[in-house]
Amino acid sequence: MLGHAARLLARARFAIAFTGAGISVESGIPTFRGRNGLWKTYRAEELATPEAFKRDPHLVWEFYKWRMRKILEAEPNPAHRTLAELENMGILKAVITQNVDDLHREAGSKKVVELHGNIFRVRCVSCPYKENLKESGRVFEFVREKDLPKCPKCGSLLRPDVVWFGEPLLREALEKAFSLAERADVVLVIGTSGVVYPAAYIPYIVKERGGKVIEINVEKSGITPIVDVFIRGRAGEVMPKLLRRIKDILAGGNHYG
Ligand code: BV8
Ligand code: ZN
């Protein structure tokens, strides 16, 4: 399996990666639907919605600040770092991610398409005001703040600049992701249950155009039925092994053929 995946990637003309919450598990960030449930009493689906924010903005901000704190304590893991190295080697052309944790960028990936936004960006519910809290250096003060965050321009509520359930994806990100998928001859799918749409279309677009689909997951997912190579395992363990095999092939170590 690993050798087949390594050969597909080493020979790929235009390989991309498609990642979900599972790639960040080994950085200590709980998945959405995993056993260790993201949020003890509430399901993420109920909190990551405009209705929840309207009904109880305090609770939704408590949920997001809890996640921001967890992510700020987290480090990219070997899976994130391997994707960044594959991009530097010219093998991987882009990472399309459903995650909002910014760990791909932290790991050094340059071409990252964030389909569901970024947890460190906030925007005003009324005016066009947006702020990337990491860039403005306000992230730690923001996370500590107990009161509801207000827009410095118009005084309205600020919200996380992420795509909630029932909200349309950012058109520009979606179009970029779809055009990357249309060009890809290999897509490396890592750590996604493949239940959230329209993001989950990405591997199908590659498949429909004759591309190859490689999946790394600890269990089968909604994508597995269309996968050419399924590697069962934890992303942080599998990815470094896959990289070594690819390097062997590129070094002409043709014992993998
Ligand atoms: C929209 C940002 C329409 C917020 C997120 C019924 C059928 C089909 C679709 C729908 C439906 N009912 C509703 C819908 C639409 C809905 C949807 O798809 N719902 C799902 C739940 C059925 N989609 C939407 O609402 C989207 N918008 O459709 O709008 C529209 C159009 C025009 C105009 C108006 C409206 C918006 C979806 C975006 C929601 N926002 N995130 C935030 O993060 O707070 S999605 C959220 O789920 C995260 O981004 C997460 O990444 C994403 C997907 O989940 P996964 O990444 O796959 O994570 P998950 O926990 O599910 O799985 C983890 C996987 O990792 C598992 O497979 C596990 O085995 C594996 N794993 C674990 N450990 C490891 C590992 N793998 C490797 N190594 C390990 N160590
Ligand atoms: Zn405003």
- Are residue 108 and residue 188 in the same domain, yes or no? yes
Question: CATH number, domain at 130?
Answer: 3.30.1600.10
pTM of the shown model: 0.95
Q: Do 164 and 53 form a contact (C-beta atoms < 8 A)?
A: yes
> Is the minimum distance from the CB of 25 to ligand 1 under 6 angstroms?
yes
- Are residue 38 and residue 16 in the same domain, yes or no? no
- Are residue 233 and residue 150 in the same domain, yes or no? no
- Are residue 112 and residue 182 in the same domain, yes or no? yes
Domain extent, residue 102, equals 1-28+76-116+169-257
pLDDT per position in the chain (257 positions), as tens?
999 999 999 999 999 999 999 999 999 997 776 555 555 556 778 899 999 999 999 999 999 999 999 999 999 999 999 999 999 999 999 999 999 999 999 999 999 999 999 999 999 999 999 999 999 999 999 999 999 999 999 999 999 999 999 999 999 999 999 999 999 999 999 999 999 999 999 999 999 999 999 999 999 999 999 999 999 999 999 999 999 999 999 998 655 44
- Residue by residue, what is the 3-state secondary structure of 197-220? CCCCHHHHHHHHCCCEEEEEECCC
- Are residue 149 and residue 251 in the same domain, yes or no? no
Helix (H/G/I), strand (E/B), else coil: 1: coil
Pocket test for ligand 1, best of 196, 220, 231, 241 (most atoms within 8 A of CB): 196
Whether 116 is catalytic is yes
Task: Give all strands (DSSP E) within the chain, no chain letters.
Answer: 15-19, 92-97, 112-114, 117-124, 130-132, 158-162, 186-190, 212-217, 229-232
Question: CATH number, domain at 245?
Answer: 3.40.50.1220
Q: Which residues surround ligand 2, an ion (CB under 5 A)?
A: 124, 126-127, 129, 151, 153-154, 156
- Are residue 17 and residue 87 in the same domain, yes or no? yes
| The predicted structure's pLDDT at residue 257 | 45
Largest interatomic CA distance in the chain: 65
- Are residue 183 and residue 139 in the same domain, yes or no? no
| The predicted structure's pLDDT at residue 45 | 80
